[in-house]
Amino acid sequence: MLIEFSVRNFKTFKEKATLSLVASNYDKDTREQENISIDKKFNLRLLKSAVIYGANASGKSKFLEALMFMRSFANSSSKDSQKGDKINVVPFRLNSETEKEPSEFEVIFSKENEMYRYGFEVDSNEVISEWLYHKPKTKEIELFYRDYQDFEIHPKKFKKGNLAVKEGLIRNNSLLLSLAAQLNDEIAIKVIEWFKSLKTISGLREEGYEGYTMHKTKNAEHRRKILDLLKAADLGIQDIKLQMLEPEKLPNDMPKELKEKILKEIQEDDAEFFSDILTFHKKYDDLNNVVETETFSMDKDESSGTKKFFALTGPILDVLENGYTLVVDELDSKLHPNLVCKIVSLFNSTDLNPRNAQLIFNTQDTNLLNSGLFRRDQIWFTEKNKFGEGKLFSLADFKSEDVRKNEAFEDNYIRGKYGAVPYLNLFENLIHKDLFVANENEK
């Protein structure tokens, strides 16, 4: 499970911003059974979900992008780059000092009943520092610390990494962790496996994972679960069927190169391509009796919200079944607020989420604040100051006498009690300036 993630000097965030999923002691009597997972070994109470609010351009998405960057760079820095390649990292650019400084990322997580702390600093040219700590029991052990190309490594507990350093295999623009995992270092592999279990998707562009969900429907049990979710969402869908792409029915206007590639993969690699999902709806007569079933195309006939929810079902089921962490940018886009609440409820449920999967997402949907689904420590905000610097803070950071457990979170947030809302007084000035009135000289 994700315990904590921190970022500094990345895009909107000049100073260090930390999202902690360690539950607050102030909310111990609020949804303790549903929303909390107990780590008895390390005496931790961990949150199963967290939501981030904030004004437009305040850093909601940029914070999640920081986590996505760390995941991507950890997974691929050694194998997907060459010597001299630039690192695609963006520092805080609205300050003349920080734009020249490295960006820093650190994550703390638990896997297989052990705790890890891993982080690095990078600029566009090289890795400045990198570190990995392992806590199998009560004591945290330093496995390695890197300062540019100088390494201090635990020779017994990080053998493959030690070998890679001795052989001079670590490039200045790649991570030791990434290479050590390629060399089959046991601990490095576990860390990389955790990063791979950190599922990050966009709520704005479901086409990136719709194919994954379509593929899942080939399995009868997965198809049943996906259909159960679709029925529970009250979308009117009674059944679904995967429609395979038939080579002889490829569109005439498809680019020749793409058509040849598909045909080659089908013939030589026995690959399968999906063209659509068919959905089946009840058809009624004038007396509202069911007379037959009507077939719809998911792509052509269903609403954008239905298409998005269908695409989400695959990643959601995968995460719940395996106890992964799901990070979604703009979860509420195209979805009804009540449906978003039901998705959150899946993760908070002790019955439907037995492996303690986690959901982290940002949203503009303030209805969730009054849904009763979240504790104060699960509600986070991003806010940007006049210098363009974003910060991240939790509702639990406020004094208990300032924010009570049962107060109207939505109303108070909208009227600005917690901050993290846009300052819109300039709109009043625009009215007084007659912005939309044609200039007399232009008539």
More confident site: 421 or 58: 58
Taking the C-alpha atoms of 207, 211, 216 and 218 in order, what is their torsion angle to the nearest 10 degrees? Answer: 140
Looking at the fold, whether 240 and 142 belong to one and the same domain comes out as: no
Looking at the fold, whether 8 and 90 belong to one and the same domain comes out as: yes
Per-residue confidence band for 436, with pLDDT thresholds at 50, 70 and 90: low
Closest Cα to residue 366, out of 374, 357, 377? 374
Does pLDDT of 262 surpass 80? no
Percent of the chain at pLDDT > 90 equals 62
> What does the mean pLDDT of the chain come to?
87
Polymer length of the chain: 443
Determine whether 125 is exposed, middle or buried from the number of CB atoms within 10 Å of its CB (0-12, 13-18, 19+). Answer: middle
Indicate the residue among 321, 342, 364 that finishes a domain.
321
More confident site: 26 or 400: 26
Does pLDDT of 437 surpass 70? no
Q: Picking from 32-46, 74-88, 346-360, 424-438, which range would have the lowest pLDDT averaged per residue?
A: 424-438
Check residue 281 and report its DSSP letter: E
Looking at the fold, whether 219 and 310 belong to one and the same domain comes out as: yes
Does pLDDT of 438 surpass 60? no
Q: Is 254 helix (H, G, I), strand (E, B) or coil?
A: coil
Interval 302-356: pLDDT, tens: 999 999 999 999 999 999 999 999 999 999 898 888 899 999 999 998 889 999 9
pLDDT at residue 263 in the model: 62
Give kind and range of the element (H or E) at residue 241: strand 239-244
Does pLDDT of 31 surpass 90? no
Print the domain residue range for 263: 205-321
> Is the alpha carbon torsion for 72, 16, 110, 315 positive or negative?
negative
Looking at the fold, whether 268 and 232 belong to one and the same domain comes out as: yes
Does pLDDT of 427 surpass 60? no
Closest Cα to residue 71, out of 327, 323, 419? 327
More confident site: 223 or 266: 223
Q: DSSP assignment of 103-170, as one string?
A: EEEEEEEEETTEEEEEEEEE-SS-EEEEEEEEESSSS-EEEEEEETTEEEE-TTTSHHHHHHHHTT--
Q: Picking from 64-73, 107-116, 231-240, 433-442, which range would have the lowest pLDDT averaged per residue?
A: 433-442
Does pLDDT of 186 surpass 70? yes
Q: DSSP assignment of 350-377, as one string?
A: TTT-TT--EEEEE---GGGGGSS---GG
Contact call for residues 197 and 324 (beta carbons, < 8 A): yes
pLDDT at residue 45 in the model: 95
Does pLDDT of 201 surpass 60? yes
Q: What is the CA radius of gyration of the chain?
A: 25
Residue 372 region by backbone torsions, left for phi larger than 0, else alpha for psi between -120 and 50, else beta: left
Cα distances (angstroms) measured from residue 363 to each of 71, 215, 280, 437: 22, 28, 31, 35
Indicate the residue among 265, 289, 321 that finishes a domain.
321
> Is the alpha carbon torsion for 149, 155, 156, 160 positive or negative?
positive
Does pLDDT of 138 surpass 80? yes
- State how far the Cα of 266 lies from the Cα of 245, in Å rounded to an integer: 10
> Which two structure tokens, joined as six digits, stand for 430?
């625009």
Per-residue confidence band for 247, with pLDDT thresholds at 50, 70 and 90: low
Instruction: Work out how many domains the chain is built from and give that number.
Output: 2
Interval 377-399: pLDDT, tens: 999 999 999 999 999 999 888 76
Per-residue confidence band for 425, with pLDDT thresholds at 50, 70 and 90: low
Closest Cα to residue 343, out of 363, 19, 4? 363
Does pLDDT of 160 surpass 80? yes
Looking at the fold, whether 277 and 336 belong to one and the same domain comes out as: no
Indicate the residue among 286, 302, 321 that finishes a domain.
321
Q: Picking from 10-19, 76-85, 94-103, which range would have the lowest pLDDT averaged per residue?
A: 76-85
Check residue 1 and report its DSSP letter: -
Looking at the fold, whether 193 and 257 belong to one and the same domain comes out as: no
Q: Picking from 30-44, 202-216, 298-312, 346-360, which range would have the lowest pLDDT averaged per residue?
A: 202-216
Looking at the fold, whether 94 and 18 belong to one and the same domain comes out as: yes
pLDDT at residue 395 in the model: 87
Name the phi and psi angles at 242, rounded to 5. -80, 130
Average pLDDT value for residue range 66-84: 89
Q: Which residues contact 297 (CB under 8 A, 6 or more apart)?
A: 276, 277, 278, 279
Does this model's pTM top 0.85? My answer is yes
More confident site: 243 or 63: 63
Looking at the fold, whether 18 and 49 belong to one and the same domain comes out as: yes
Looking at the fold, whether 251 and 347 belong to one and the same domain comes out as: no
Looking at the fold, whether 157 and 284 belong to one and the same domain comes out as: no
Looking at the fold, whether 361 and 413 belong to one and the same domain comes out as: yes
Looking at the fold, whether 266 and 313 belong to one and the same domain comes out as: yes
Strand arrangement of the beta sheet that strand 379-384 belongs to: 198-202, 325-329, 358-362, 49-54, 379-384, 390-394
Average pLDDT value for residue range 125-153: 96
Tell me whether strands 17-20 and 141-147 are parallel, antiparallel or unpaired: unpaired
Average pLDDT value for residue range 415-428: 63
Does pLDDT of 118 surpass 60? yes
Does pLDDT of 185 surpass 70? yes
pLDDT at residue 408 in the model: 64
Does pLDDT of 212 surpass 80? yes
Interval 277-308: pLDDT, tens: 999 999 999 999 999 999 999 989 999 999 99
